[in-house]
Chains A and B, each alone.
Chain A
Amino acid sequence: MIAMKRHPSWRDLNRLADHELEAGARRAALEHVASCPRCSGTVSLLNDLREAGRDMRHPSPPKDLLEDILRNRSQGLRTILPAVPPSPRPARRFLPAVAAAAVMASLAGLATLTLTSEAGAGASELTVQPANPMPGEEIRLLYRPGALLAGETALRLRLRLRRPETEPPRATLGTYDEVILSPRADGLYVGSFQLPPDFAYAAMAVENLSGDRLDDRDGRLWDVRAHADDGAPLAGALRQNFLVLQNRSWPDARDAVHEMTFLYPDSAEGWSMQLAYDETTRPPAEMAVSLAGHREHFRRLDRQLEDAEPSADEIAAMVRYAQALGDAEAFDRWLDRLESRAPTHRLALSYRVAGVGSDQVDAEQYFETLWSVEEHRTLTVCRAGYSAAEATGDASLAQEWALRCLPLSDDHRFTRDLALTLVAYEETRERGIREIRTLLDHVNERPDEERPLHETPEEALRESRSFQAALRVRLGEQLLDSGAPVSAILELDAAEHFELWLPDLYRVRLEALLSIGDEDAARSDFHRLDADLTYPRESVDSLRRLFASLTRDELLDGRRQAESEMIQRVLADDMLRGLPPANLRTSTGQLRTLESLLSGRPTILLLWDRRVFGSPDEVANVIRAGDLLAGGPGQLLWITSEPDSESLQSFVRKSGLDLPAYHDRGSALATTLGEWGVRDYFVIDGTGRIRTRTHSLMEAVRHLEVLRLGSRDTA
């Protein structure tokens, strides 16, 4: 047994008294306590607290209480009781460390934090030592691979480190770094990493050295938070934790924000985030109670911060809080304060962009004034200025801001948008085309550190090909609109080389070819559009009139060839993954297995929560998808993490959705599938395998149709 030479921390003494300390650390602590008067006094105090609690009597309620209750109820009195949070929470788990790690921890006097992945990678584990690291501290990482990464000579752990003020949720945000994990005889891979002094939160993924196999903890990523010396997570860490998790796991996000308001009750940011969370998750009756409490917190913070000197982020949080509570006076007051204290704060800028509709001149002047000051010429200000200019609809203003932003842009998507703005107008078209060509030439040369943590290099390459093809189609469309059909056709042919199925490409090229009178060449694109179920039939019908000379056999042959091409291209990247088992709850409260709901039918799983931003806008597509699949073997299955309620039913009735919602309790299925809270569609074939996942419902419908065509051809 190894006795601890230094005093155990207050936290460890508490855990010792509560029997929550792990065996090795417990033995060492006990030996220390036996010979240390100071620590034994602390443990005695903790035991005395417990003894004092034990001595209390068990009282009974007064005899008249029951009659009081029954009488009041019979007279119509009702109370709204607070909700009890669901338990247990499955996603983030503090587990006993693996045996080797526990021994190491007890020798070093360190606690450990172990995170596990529950599927996909086959129960891998990542242990961080110490469990509650502080900024600037060195952490030790012990990774136990699942079947996916076992036996590798070494592994690479990729990190994205966020500071307290980093603004998620961009997937590539945060400073990139990596650690090589070396194998040990016991099968664990180990490495260490020095956390930077401004560290708040890190998201991590592990992959083999060639990068073709990746463990991203089923899409949730591994993570570590910065702590204070008393073991509590820092406010900045909780902020990052919440902002990142709100798109990955509602229960984890809830935990993070509750920790924040408990540990930092004077943080306006915590309360404003909790209100945002409450608004999207609580039923209306509870929300009324919750709002009353929030108004009280807001008044308290309003008083506290009035004469203090809060940070810009705290002022911004008060702006958000006031707006969410509908307090117009406080909102104006705090927004004025934010603009005078930090005129380039993201929130101040975004309200100015939003204000274009009501006072365009005022918004323009605000951004021009900012831009006139050299130190304010940043990418953040430029993005906002460009967005405001776009919102005004003033082409020359948008071009001017696009030209300002191009030299600053570090994001290929933003550069694309700026360049396309320039292409749309004659006087800047040449510059725009030049920018797009430069972008296309270099998009494959992006450094590996820009690759999102959850993507393998192969997936990143696929994404890059898709980006390039779509950009060439957009460029072709702009060139056609500007009266340059031949240049447009050249761009579109270049996009075709990526061998992706792109209905927009066929539509634009067909128009371009017809505009130069090349009807024969246009015919192939017509057949492609005709073959695509998701392309509007009325458009196909009107195009068919343009090709009136085609015989019925020619139409059928052309369509069949196009279908073959579509099948080949759409199925080229199928994932063929197994579907995890899941239990889902119907609106009547019955539990059904996912397997029984699929019942062997090709299915599109709509992992779709109406509370997620933008989801209600998708209703029209859901209805259209239902119409397209009607009469065929395919079906839509709507799975949501929202429990059934009158509010949900009302939404279904008003929106015209004609399909039942199945409740995925605690987002268990969504989490297992690595769904990050945004709406996502999974195509499942008749044998229950996942064929693809996509953010586009029409792509999912097309995929399902292609599966049907493929099986027909095989038959």
Chain B
Amino acid sequence: MHDRVDDRRMSVSENNPNPTLLSRLGRGDADALREVYERYADDVYRIALRLTASSADAYDVTHDVFVGLPEAMQRYDPDRPFGPWLRGVTVRTSQMRLRSVRRRREVAVPNVPAMAVRSRQDAVVDRLTLEKALDELSPDLRSVVVLRELEGLSYQEIADLLGITKSAAAVRLHRARRRLREILRGNR
């Protein structure tokens, strides 16, 4: 068994942007917003898409995050890295979106990118099955699975992002996987 967490880490740069850029962003400077968008939009959109499983919702989440970003900078602590903070904002915004949108859905719509070809013939789970199963999870459970399995975050990083303890993150993840196992067994 190999640890594959590190090689799947988010590509959001851990090097903070220039403080001047962030300062301009906080003042609502459109050029600064454009620059930050070009650097981080892929990551914000990808997380939103994975959490909401809907390109329309991911579009809205990314839109809302960047529209609100200059004002939200008042709550950003410049002593901490910007990328993880933005990741946290995105997760929270996605969760809020998911909670409000999910009730409106009658049928799960796995509107996700095209799937790659499976490499392991004997695998129990393929991506399509996983996507369908993920869609049956509650927003909270879905979040931990996405952050762990898709984004490769550690228990502690998940805990920090969701504002819970490390043990709660672990328990939540274990419950999510238990639920996924039940769903997958039902599907097979």
Contact = CB atoms under 8 A, between A and B. Distances in A.
Contacts of A58: 11, 42, 46
> How big is chain B's contact interface, by range?
35 or more
A49 interface: yes
Contact of A92 (B28, B116, B165): B165
B34 A48 contact: no
Interface in A47-95: 47-62, 65-66, 68-70, 72-74, 77-89, 92, 94
Nearest to B92: A82
Given A14-B173, A53-B130, A48 B67 contact: no
B177 interface: yes
B113 A57 contact: yes
Interface in B132-155: 140, 145-146, 148-150, 155
Given A10-B178, A81-B64, A94-B166, 8 more contacts: A45-B124, A53-B150, A57-B113, A78-B67, A78-B71, A230-B175, A232-B175, A255-B168
B168 A259 contact: yes
B123 interface: yes
A136 interface: no
A151 to B, nearest CB: 33
B107 interface: no
Contacts of B92: 81-84
B127 interface: yes
A81 B65 contact: yes
Contact of B112 (A45, A56, A73, A262): A56
Contacts of B8: 53-54
A301 B59 CA distance: 32
Interface in B13-60: 28, 30, 33-34, 37-38, 41-42, 44-46, 49-50, 55, 58-59
A679 interface: no
22 contacts: A14-B173, A47-B1, A49-B149, A49-B177, A52-B126, A53-B130, A57-B114, A65-B41, A66-B66, A69-B63, A73-B67, A81-B65, A81-B72, A84-B85, A84-B161, A86-B77, A94-B167, A231-B171, A232-B175, A255-B168, A259-B164, A263-B171
B180 A49 contact: yes
B118 interface: yes
B168 to A, nearest CB: 5
A583 to B, nearest CB: 10
Contacts of A74: 30
Contact of A231 (B64, B75, B145, B174): B174
A513 to B, nearest CB: 61
B170 A20 contact: yes
A19 interface: yes
A58 B30 CA distance: 27
B42 A61 contact: yes
A65 B63 contact: yes
A269 B69 CA distance: 34
A70 B160 contact: no
Contacts of A54: 4, 8
Contacts of B96: 82, 289
Nearest to A296: B99
A50 B153 CA distance: 12
B113 A81 contact: no
B109 interface: no
A61 to B, nearest CB: 4
Contacts of A258: 163-164, 168
A48 B168 contact: no
A95 to B, nearest CB: 11
Given A17-B1, A262-B168, A61 B59 contact: yes
Nearest to A58: B46
Nearest to A228: B171
Contact of B41 (A14, A61, A89, A255): A61
B120 to A, nearest CB: 6
Interface string B76-104: 01100000010011001100100100000
Contact of A52 (B127, B155, B160, B163): B127
Contacts of A62: 59
Top 10 closest pairs, chain A to chain B, by CB: A85-B163, A87-B160, A84-B88, A79-B68, A53-B149, A61-B45, A82-B92, A52-B130, A48-B125, A53-B150
B64 A79 contact: yes
Interface in A70-128: 70, 72-74, 77-89, 92, 94
Contacts of A65: 41, 45, 59, 62-63
Contacts of A66: 34, 37-38, 41, 66
A85 B124 contact: no
A241 to B, nearest CB: 11
A254 interface: yes
Given A74-B30, A81-B69, A48 B42 contact: no
A18 B41 contact: no
B113 A59 contact: yes
Q: Which of A56, A57, A258 has the most CB of B within 10 A?
A: A56
Contact of A49 (B67, B72, B130, B164): B130
A7 interface: no
Contacts of B93: 81-82
A382 B62 CA distance: 59
Given A89-B165, A259-B168, A10 B67 contact: no
A561 interface: no
A673 B166 CA distance: 25
A293 B112 CA distance: 28
B155 A79 contact: no
Contacts of B140: 262
Nearest to A591: B79
Contacts of A81: 64-65, 68-69, 71-72, 89, 92-93
A231 B174 CA distance: 10
A199 B69 CA distance: 47
A341 interface: no
Nearest to B124: A48
B33 A73 contact: yes
A18 B148 contact: yes
B184 interface: yes
Contacts of B1: 17, 19, 43, 47
Contacts of B170: 11, 14-15, 20
Contacts of A232: 171, 175
Given A51-B120, A55-B116, A262 B172 contact: yes
A89 B68 CA distance: 26
A509 to B, nearest CB: 55
A69 B174 contact: no
Nearest to B173: A14
A634 B64 CA distance: 51
B4 A50 contact: yes
Q: Which of B89, B115, B165 has the most CB of A within 10 A?
A: B165
A243 interface: no
